[in-house]
Amino acid sequence: MEFTAEQIAGILNGEIVGDSNAIVTGLSKIEEGTPQSLSFLANPKYEEHIYKTNSTICIVNKTFTPLKPLPDSLTLVKVDDAHACFAKLLEVYSQMTKKQPSVEQPSHISASATVGEGLYLGAFAYIGDGTKIGKNASIYPQAYIGENVTIGDNCTIHPGAKIYQDCVIGNNVTIHAGTVIGADGFGFVPDETGVFSKIPQIGNVVIEDDVEIGSNTTIDRATLGSTFIRKGVKLDNLIQIAHNVDVGQHSAMAAQVGVAGSAKIGKHVMVGGQAGISGHITIADQTQIVAQSGIPGSVKKKDTLMGSPGIPIEDFKKSYFGFRKLPFILKKLQELEVQLKSLTKEK
């Protein structure tokens, strides 16, 4: 990567303050800036760093006015939204570093599989019988794509990801390293002696367009039918999605969330880390669930829930205030008990 301030301003429709020929070859946080690196300042909390940064170019909002002298070596590119513009540059950088089409060896593409143009297939990757892969796919080393899988255009499957048979992946999907799509759901039934027998899991997983799934996340195949991850969903690392779950469009979940079987998650739902959602329940659209909360029953209208069991956050805050006061309340009760006994003896 090598850009001049003039090129960056052209991409972002920005204004240059300083040397239009200044060159950057890398990216850095403003507090860790190095010569020939590009940084950004959007949060005023970090403004102090711009007056001593070693970065060569910094993207700032057009409203930014320095309160102190800036380093002589620093060039500013002023834009309407520094954070959004820096994200745009990161996307450009990501596309530049994307693997070029090639098939590394050793790797395996079944004779009955079909792959679109622009495929990058890393060493030791496997594509099974009857699988269909769209255009411009990047499948990194040691990825496994099972039989009769369908993968759309512009998808990226990172190293070591596993996609079991019959699963369907839409367009513009990113699946990060170590993720498993389509393993068996946790389906067992005990007999009269308490011995568990396995229920065959013969469904699949359907992941719609524009989904991103973090590392070491697991999404189980349905017992019957499909487990659905709808359009635009974003899943963090280390998430467990059980069989027959349906995650609604543009919902997001942070790390270590667990969703039990057949739960239906609405659209635009946000779930904090380590939250747990019980099976066979429904979560209303636009619900927000605070980290480490437990949701044992259906949520019928949007709310922000906290605690286990999850309750509206304002109720939780009041309850927590009372909980913190419990030692004081217990002490007062003990004092009142002593006084009551004393009064009883006097009578």
- Respond yes or no: is residue 243 known to be catalytic: yes
Query: At 271, phi and psi to the nearest 5?
Result: -125, 125
Q: State the pLDDT at residue 347.
A: 60
CB-CB neighbours of 46 under 10 Å: 15
Rounded mean pLDDT of the chain? 95
Q: Give the active site residue among 49, 158, 176, 243.
A: 243
Q: State the pLDDT at residue 322.
A: 83
Secondary structure class of 295 (helix, strand, coil): strand
Q: Which amino acid is at 79?
A: V
**Cβ(76)–Cβ(30) under 8 Å?**
no
- How is 72-101 classified by DSSP, letter by letter? TT-EEEEES-HHHHHHHHHHHHHHHTSPPS
The CATH architecture assigned to 3-96 reads 3-Layer(aba) Sandwich (3.40)
Angstrom distance (rounded) from CA 161 to CA 180: 6
In the sheet with 246-247, reading across from the earlier edge strand, the strands are 114-115, 132-133, 150-151, 168-169, 204-207, 226-229, 246-247, 264-265, 282-283
Beta bridge partners of 109: 127
Q: What tokens does 183 get? A: 């393993």
Q: State the pLDDT at residue 346.
A: 66
Upper half-sphere CA count for residue 314 (Cβ side, 13 Å): 1
Q: State the pLDDT at residue 99.
A: 86
Query: Where exactly are the structural domains of the chain?
Result: 3-96, 102-314, 317-346
Supply the pTM of this predicted model: 0.86
DSSP H or E run through 220: strand 218-220
**Cβ(189)–Cβ(197) under 8 Å?**
yes
**Would you say domain 102-314 falls under CATH 2.60.40.10?**
no
Beta bridge partners of 175: 157, 213
Beta bridge partners of 61: 79
* CA distance to 90, 240, 286, 307, 323, per residue, from 274 (Å): 29, 10, 19, 12, 22
Going residue by residue through the chain, which has 347 residues, state the pLDDT in tens, using 9 for 90 and above.
789 999 999 999 999 999 999 999 999 999 999 999 999 999 999 999 999 999 999 999 999 999 999 999 999 999 999 999 999 988 888 877 788 999 999 999 999 999 999 999 999 999 999 999 999 999 999 999 999 999 999 999 999 999 999 999 999 999 999 999 999 999 999 999 999 999 999 999 999 999 999 999 999 999 999 999 999 999 999 999 999 999 999 999 999 999 999 999 999 999 999 999 999 999 999 999 999 999 999 999 999 999 999 999 988 888 888 888 888 888 889 989 888 888 877 66
Any long-range contacts for 284-293 (C-beta under 8 Å, 24+ apart)?
Answer: 285/248, 291/254
